Amino acid sequence: MGCLSELQELDLCDNQLTSLPVEIEQLPKRLNLKLDGNPLKSIPSELKQRFRL
């Protein structure tokens, strides 16, 4: 995911996601990650802090 270093926003809303891949930790820290409307079972605390979820 190194080629995504300039990514500023990732909108994954309403995609029926129930979990997030571990690779998501490799995304830029200042990324605006949108996950609304997904039935996520849990979000690791590290990701909550990193992406302000």
Determine, yes or no, domain membership for 1.
Answer: no
Tell me how many domains the chain contains.
1
CA distance 46 to 51: 9
Determine, yes or no, domain membership for 33.
Answer: yes
Determine, yes or no, domain membership for 20.
Answer: yes
Determine, yes or no, domain membership for 3.
Answer: no
Residue type, 40: L
Residue 2 above 70 pLDDT? no
Model confidence pLDDT, tens digit, residues 29-38? 888 999 999 9
Determine, yes or no, domain membership for 47.
Answer: yes
The separation between CA 38 and the C-alpha centre of its own chain, rounded to angstroms, equals 12
Determine, yes or no, domain membership for 24.
Answer: yes
Residue 52 above 70 pLDDT? yes
Taking the CA atoms of residue 19, residue 42, residue 45 and residue 4 in that order, the dihedral angle to the nearest 10 degrees is 20
Residue 18 above 90 pLDDT? yes
Parent domain of 34: 9-51
Determine, yes or no, domain membership for 4.
Answer: no
Determine, yes or no, domain membership for 2.
Answer: no
User: Which has the higher per-residue pLDDT, 50 or 16?
Assistant: 16
